[in-house]
Every structure is written in C-alpha cells, then in structure tokens.
Amino acid sequence: MEQTFALIKPRAFHENLTGPILNLFNTAGFKIGAIKSWWLSDREARQLYGIHQGKPFYEDLLTYMISGPIVVMVLEKDHAVADLRKLVGNTDPQKAEAGTVRKLFGLNARQNAVHASDSPENAEKESALFFAQMEKYEPRGISFGKVHRKEES
C-alpha cells in the first residue's frame, strides 16, 4: 500500500466541489489516511510550491493558494502516486483527458482544482507539512463487524 498527498485548492473548496472530488477519489479506490481543512500561510505556500520559485507564475500561484481555505489529505492504495496523477489529469484543464478531476472541475492551469504529489518522496515531504505521523491512519487489521452495545439501565 502506497501513500500520496493531495490538496483541494481554494476555488474548488469555495465552490463546494470538495464532496464531488472526494467521491472521484473514493470511486477510484483511494482510502483516506488523513484529511483536514487548512488555510495556507505565505510561508507554508512557499514551502509547498518552492519547486516553482523563479518561474513566471510563482507569485500569482502563491497569492491564489493563500486566498482561501483548502483541504489537505493523505490518500492510499497500491500505486497511489501514479494512479492519483492519472486521475487528476493534466495541469491545464483544457489539455486534460475527459473524466479527470482537472477536466471536470478546473478553471485554468493555476486554478485547476487540485494538487497531487508527483513522487513518493514529494508525497512524504508534502504530507509532513500538514500532518504529524500520528495523525495518519495506518491499517492494523481491524475488523469493523457488528458492534454490540451493552444496554444502560
């Protein structure tokens, strides 16, 4: 089982697309290992998107990413990184394949609804910005069968 990191961007959060996006993740077989809403600080946005520093779109991306709440999550399944990258599609929604998250919910290359880690190493780094290890779900062979409760008197 592999873990990856995903983020629902401010516009998608604001337009109540979180549920439909999570449904696509669930339908594709991803399990949620950790999830929470967050409002990025400038420092956090710079850490998350530092790989783009110096590129023409960098400052606009940072401004957008701190403009409103987001949802951050750790997702897991076999081949999680590659499968999520395929599911979210091309960064530019106009170039993304039909049925991908960005084609369905993205507005443009910057406001493309979601971020998804591009490697297991980056998934670990990015998830560590938002989640302590103890906040991440780790399967332990728990059975969720019928629960019997003792009646209170």
**Which tokens sit at 36?**
């929470």
Give the gyration radius of the chain's Cα atoms.
17
Does residue 115 carry a catalytic annotation?
yes
Pick from 113, 86, 123, 94: nearest CA to 19:
113
Pick from 27, 33, 29, 28: nearest CA to 6:
33
Polymer length of the chain: 153
- 14, 52, 115, 148: which is the annotated catalytic residue? 115
Residues marked as catalytic: 115
